[in-house]
Amino acid sequence: MLYSIALMNHLKIAIAQLNCTVGDLAGNALRLLAAAERAASLGAELMLTPELALSGYPPEDLLLRPDFYRACDRELRSLAAAAFERCPDLALLVGHPEEHQGGRYNAASLLRGGRVETTYRKHRLPNYEVFDEERYFDAGAEACVITVGGVRCGVNICADVWEPGAADAARDAGAELLLALNASPYHQNKQAQRYQVLRSRIKDTGMPVIYANLVGGQDELVFDGASFALDGRGTLTHQLPAFEEALEIVEYRAGGPLPGRIEPPLSPEAEAYAALRLGVADYLGKNGFPGAIIGLSGGVDSALTLTIAVDALGPERVRAVMMPSPYTAQMSLDDSRALAKNLGVRYQEIAIEPAMRTFAELLAPEFAGLPADATEENLQARIRGMILMALSNKSGAIVLTTGNKSEMAVGYATLYGDMAGGFAVIKDIYKTLVYRLCRYRNGLSPVIPENILTRAPSAELKPDQRDQDTLPPYEVLDAIIEAYMERDESPREIVGQGYAAADVRRVVRMLSRSEYKRRQSPVGIRITRRGFGKDWRYPITSRYQDEWQ
C-alpha cells in the first residue's frame, strides 16, 4: 500500500526563471507561453513562474490604475486558453496583479483546462528596503492548496516565506510541498539569506520548497534568478544559474524533490559584475536606446563603466569620448586610447579648452577680483556634460555616468557636469569594489590598462590634483559610509570601531550636505543592501544632529 502511494505521489515541476518586462503584458504572456511549451516537451505537469510574471515587477503606480488590472485580467484569461490549446496536459501557476471584490492583490493563479481554476492572494506585503506593497495591495488571508499529479502543493508568494505564518497555513490546509513565486531583487549576499529563510520554513512545516525567482533588470533593481529547490531536510537539490533565463525540471517523488542539477555559485566579484552587466543590457534594451555614450577620463571609474557597457551591449553599440583639458595628463590620454582599442569601441577626442576660454571671457566681469576656486573646476565638468548630452541628443544613445557610490555619498561630483546622463551604472559600487571588479574583469581578458589600476585617482580639474587631498583613504571612506548609510550606525558607534573622529565627522557632514545632489542624479543599479535610490529617503532639508556622545 505504501509503495502504491509513493508511485502516485509523483510530479514533474518546471521552474520557469523568466526575464519579464513591466507593463508588457502581451510580451510577457508570449514568454510564459514559450516556456510552457518547452516545459511540456520535457514532460512537466506543472510550471511555476515568478511573482507578478504577467505584469513584470515592480509595476509601481501602474497598480493604482483600474485599467491596468482589467488589462492583466484579459491577458491572464487569454494565456489560460492559449496554454491549454498548445499544452493541454500542463498546468501553469502564474503570478499577476488582481482586482477582486473591491480589493487589489498580489496574486498567483492556477491555469488549467483553459481557465483560471483558483487564485492565491499574497499574505505578507513587504514595506521596507525597496518594497512598498502596502501602498498598492490588500493582504490575502486564505491558504491555497492545489493538487497536480496527486501532489498537494501549497502556494506562497515571496515575502510570505520570509516569516512564519503563510507557509504554516498552507501545511495546515493539507499541503505536502511548498511552491514559492518570487520577485526577489539582488543585493550582495542575498542568496545565502534566501537559503536561511527557506530552511527556517522547512524546519517549521516539514515541507520541501521549490523557489522560482524573477531574473532581469528593472530600472535600479536587478533580479538575479538563482531559483532553487530544497528537500524536507533543507538540502539543496536544484540550483538554477544566476542572471540569466532558465527552465529546469524538478522531479518530486515520494515526499521530496529528487537530486538534480546544481549550478556552482559565483564569486562575489563575478556576481556583482554580472548584475551590472544585466542591469545595463536590460535598461537600454527594454527602453529602446540604440546605444551608449561614456565620457572617458583615463581613470578607473570610467574604465569600468565602459567595459561593463561593452560586455552588456557589444562594442558596436558603445561610443567612448575623451574630453581633455589643459590639466589632463598625457598618461590619461594614452590609457584611454589603449582601453578603447582593447574593447574595440568607437573613440574620439574633443578638447574642451576652447569652451573653457569662452566661458572665462563670458564670466570675467562677474568674477573680476575673485580668486579661482571650485567654480572653474566645475565649469570643466559641466562643459564635458554638455558635450556628452549634445552627442546623446543627436544620436539617441544614452549617456552612462561614471560616478561611484563613494563619490555619490560625499558629493564628490558636479551637478549638471559628470552627473549629467541617463543611467548611473556604478552608482552603488564603492571605490574599493571598483578596483576589485576591474581586476576580476581583467582576469577574464586583460582589457583595462594596468596603469589605470595603479595610478592615484584624480579628477584632473587643476594641477597636481588627487582625490585623497580632500577625502580620507578609500578603505576608510567606504567603511564609514557603509556603517552610517547601510547599517544606520551613529557617528559615536563608528568612532567606537576605531575610526578617527575627524574622518567620521567629515564624511558624515559631507554625506548629509550632498542629499540635494543625489536627489538629482540619474537612476542607477543597486547591488548593496541599501543604495542611494528607492531605499534611501532622507530629507534634503533637515537640522537633525547625529549622536556623537
Q: What is the CATH number of the domain that holds 300?
A: 3.40.50.620
Residue 71 CA to residue 60 CA, distance in Å, equals 16
Q: What phi, psi does 261 have (nearest 5°)?
A: -75, 135
Q: Of 255, 284, 313, which residue is a domain's last?
A: 255
Let me know if residue 393 belongs to a domain. Answer: yes
Q: What is the CA radius of gyration of the chain?
A: 26
Strand order through the sheet with 115-121: 115-121, 103-112, 91-100, 46-48, 10-17, 246-253, 256-257
How sure is the predictor about 467, in pLDDT bands with cuts at 50, 70 and 90?
low
**Contact in structure between 222 and 251 (CB atoms under 8 Å):** no
- Opening angle at CA 401, ends 400 and 402, nearest 5: 120
Does 75 lie in the same domain as 40? yes
Considering its fold, how many domains does the chain have in total?
A: 2
**Contact in structure between 210 and 250 (CB atoms under 8 Å):** yes
Strands (E), 113-165: 115-121, 145-148, 151-157
- One-letter amino acid of 121: R
Does 424 lie in the same domain as 350? yes
Q: Can you tell me the mean pLDDT for 375-389?
A: 96
pLDDT in tens, 235-283: 999 999 999 999 999 999 988 999 999 999 999 999 999 999 999 999 9
Let me know if residue 530 belongs to a domain. Answer: no
User: Is residue 59 scored above 70 in pLDDT?
Assistant: yes
Let me know if residue 542 belongs to a domain. Answer: no
Q: Can you tell me the mean pLDDT for 441-454?
A: 96
Q: Can you tell me the mean pLDDT for 41-56?
A: 98
Burial of 293 (0-12, 13-18, 19+ CB in 10 A): buried
User: Is residue 469 scored above 80 in pLDDT?
Assistant: no
How sure is the predictor about 3, in pLDDT bands with cuts at 50, 70 and 90?
very low
User: Is residue 461 scored above 70 in pLDDT?
Assistant: no
**Contact in structure between 183 and 49 (CB atoms under 8 Å):** no
Instruction: Output b/e per residue, 304-342; b: 16+ Cβ within 10 A.
Output: bbbbbbbbbbebebbbbbbbbbebbeeebeebbbbbbee
Let me know if residue 335 belongs to a domain. Answer: yes
What pLDDT sits at residue 4? 41
What pLDDT sits at residue 456? 79
Residue 250 CA to residue 241 CA, distance in Å, equals 15
Let me know if residue 356 belongs to a domain. Answer: yes
pTM of the model: 0.94
What pLDDT sits at residue 327? 92
What cell numbers appear for 105 in the block?
492583490
Does 375 lie in the same domain as 239? no
What cell numbers appear for 83 in the block?
496554454
Q: What is the CATH number of the domain that holds 88?
A: 3.60.110.10
Does 221 lie in the same domain as 297? no
Q: What percent of the chain has pLDDT over 70?
A: 96
Q: Write out the residue range of the structural domain in which residue 356 sits.
A: 270-467
Residue 236 CA to residue 468 CA, distance in Å, equals 46
Average model confidence (pLDDT) across the chain: 95
Does 234 lie in the same domain as 175? yes
Does 276 lie in the same domain as 223? no
Q: What percent of the chain has pLDDT over 90?
A: 94
Let me know if residue 88 belongs to a domain. Answer: yes
Listed in sequence order, the DSSP H helices in 368-500 are 374-395, 405-410, 431-444, 450-454, 474-481, 491-495
Does 341 lie in the same domain as 300? yes
What pLDDT sits at residue 514? 95
What pLDDT sits at residue 147? 97
**Contact in structure between 186 and 275 (CB atoms under 8 Å):** yes
Does 302 lie in the same domain as 235? no
Give, in order, the Cα–Cα distances in Å from 221 to each of 18, 28, 60, 277, 283. Answer: 15, 18, 13, 12, 10
Cβ neighbours of residue 364 closer than 8 Å, sequence gap 6 or more: none
Active site residues: 51, 122, 158
What pLDDT sits at residue 13? 98
Does 251 lie in the same domain as 279? no
What pLDDT sits at residue 229? 98
Q: Can you tell me the mean pLDDT for 48-74?
A: 98
What pLDDT sits at residue 254? 81
Does 363 lie in the same domain as 236? no
**Contact in structure between 216 and 141 (CB atoms under 8 Å):** no
What is the CB neighbour count within 10 angstroms for residue 106?
33
Residue 403 CA to residue 380 CA, distance in Å, equals 16
Among 4-8, 219-223, 308-312, the range scoring the smallest mean pLDDT is 4-8
What pLDDT sits at residue 464? 66
Strand order through the sheet with 177-182: 145-148, 151-157, 177-182, 209-213, 228-230, 236-239
What pLDDT sits at residue 9? 79
User: Is residue 84 scored above 90 in pLDDT?
Assistant: yes
Tell me, rounded to whole angstroms, the distance of Cα 171 from its chain centroid.
Answer: 33
Q: Of 413, 448, 467, which residue is a domain's last?
A: 467
pLDDT in tens, 113-166: 999 999 999 999 999 999 999 999 999 999 999 999 999 999 999 999 999 999
Let me know if residue 351 belongs to a domain. Answer: yes
Let me know if residue 75 belongs to a domain. Answer: yes
Does 184 lie in the same domain as 291? no
Q: Of 230, 255, 280, which residue is a domain's last?
A: 255
**How many helices (DSSP H) and strands (DSSP E) are in the chain?**
17, 20
Which residue bears the cell 589632463?
328
Does 330 lie in the same domain as 244? no
